[in-house]
């Protein structure tokens, strides 16, 4: 059986098109209850892979947070109150933390996050 050049190219490229793209996300809300009321401002972060330490915009306003980390993933999103993500973890999201969590009672805004084991 002889394959044409076009068929060979399709066979080689096919795995590229069927690979699933996995990533993680979280949404921080300016109200408690993760936006169960109308007109709630949000900040959504969507990424794939690890993040060393990144700033979460508008953290001073956030009152609740909800994660979306794929099932079966070891990915953990850690939140910190200070730049550098070198101090103690204040809050974490994993594949098991899928409900809304209140972060309004933290003394300092959780302004930085780090994603580990997400690659």
Contact 110, 62 (CB under 8 A): yes
Q: Which pLDDT does position 98 carry in this prediction?
A: 86
Looking at residue 87, its pLDDT comes to 87
User: Which residue spans within the chain are E strands per DSSP?
Assistant: 24-29, 42-47, 51-55, 64-68, 76-80, 91-93, 101-102, 112-116
Task: Please give the pLDDT value at position 14.
Answer: 44
Say what the pTM is.
Answer: 0.77
pLDDT at 8 over 80: no
Phi-psi region of 37 (alpha: psi -120 to 50; beta: other; left: phi over 0): beta
The pLDDT tens digits of the residues spanning 48-86 come to 999 999 999 999 999 999 999 999 999 999 999 999 999
């Amino acid at each position: 059986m002889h394959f044409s050049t076009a068929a060979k190219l399709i066979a080689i490229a096919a795995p590229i098109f069927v690979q699933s793209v996995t990533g993680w996300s979280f949404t921080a809300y300016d109200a408690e209850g993760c936006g169960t009321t109308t007109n709630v401002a949000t900040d959504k972060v969507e990424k794939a892979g690890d993040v060393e330490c990144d700033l979460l915009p508008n953290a001073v306003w956030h009152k609740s947070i909800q994660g979306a980390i794929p099932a079966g993933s070891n990915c953990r999103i850690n939140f910190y109150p200070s730049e550098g993500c070198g101090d103690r973890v204040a809050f974490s999201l994993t594949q098991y933390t899928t409900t809304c969590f209140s972060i309004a009672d933290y003394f300092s805004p959780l302004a930085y996050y780090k994603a580990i084991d997400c690659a």
